[in-house]
Structure 1
Amino acid sequence: MTYQDILIENGDVVLDAGRNPVLIQDRAVIAQDIKHAIIESGLAVSLIAERSRSKRRDISTQIELLVEEDVRLVPGTVRLEEPTPGIIWVFATTRDFGTLELEVSHG
């Protein structure tokens, strides 16, 4: 185990049955960090709110570049999909823990 963190869902710490924080490791930590970076950047909200196709592509590129900044990922492996408005899927390959997929939803 290289990375460890407390699991956060919907802005709250997740507790186990004994009321202790649930811990996550490695790939899950990277995914959680990326998800929070996207949400905190405000880009997810901008993407959802934007109607212009060209501006949406620009915002998607900004999100990709933000995710690419994470040194724990293999450069050039980040891919975004938006299957429905308000849902963004991020796919990437980590340097040490295989593939990563995470959902960012806002709105």
Structure 2
Amino acid sequence: MTEPKYQDLLIINNDIALDSVGVPMGISDRASIAQDIKHMIRESGLLVELVGERQTDKWALNLSRLENLVESDTRIQPGTAKLTRLDKESVLVSAKTVEYQTIEFTL
């Protein structure tokens, strides 16, 4: 088995996830990239702007900005990021990584 290229601590509910004996849990490679992208999007503040926003053109503009942000990560293949509004409170993020397969998660 090969060594992971990307490693990180698993974050759940804004806190480090611990196993049954209290040791921090780790994630690697594809899961680590997905977690980094989630945090990058959250820290951008663009999602906060969408809360309560009713104008579809502003939603589309911010989703486009978020796609560009996702694609700014060098581990993501350019042109593959897609953000889709699922409902008033959910956005589906998908993108193809350079070294691994597709990542997909909901915000």
* TM-score, scaled to structure 2: 0.93
1:49 partner SS: coil
User: Which deviates the most, 48-57 or 67-76?
Assistant: 48-57
CA distance in 2, matches of 1:10, 1:49: 23
Q: Provide the aligned length of Structure 1 versus Structure 2.
A: 104
Runs of 4+ that moved beyond 4 A: none
CA distance in 2, matches of 1:20, 1:45: 33
CA distance in 2, matches of 1:103, 1:91: 9
Aligned to 2:98: 95
Aligned to 2:65: 62
Aligned to 2:16: 13
Q: Which has the higher contact order (CA 8 A, sep 6+)?
A: 1
| Percentage of matched positions with identical amino acids | 44
Runs (5+) with no aligned partner, structure 1: none
1:53 to 42, 53, 56: 56
Conserved? CA contact 1:47–1:60, under 8 Å? no
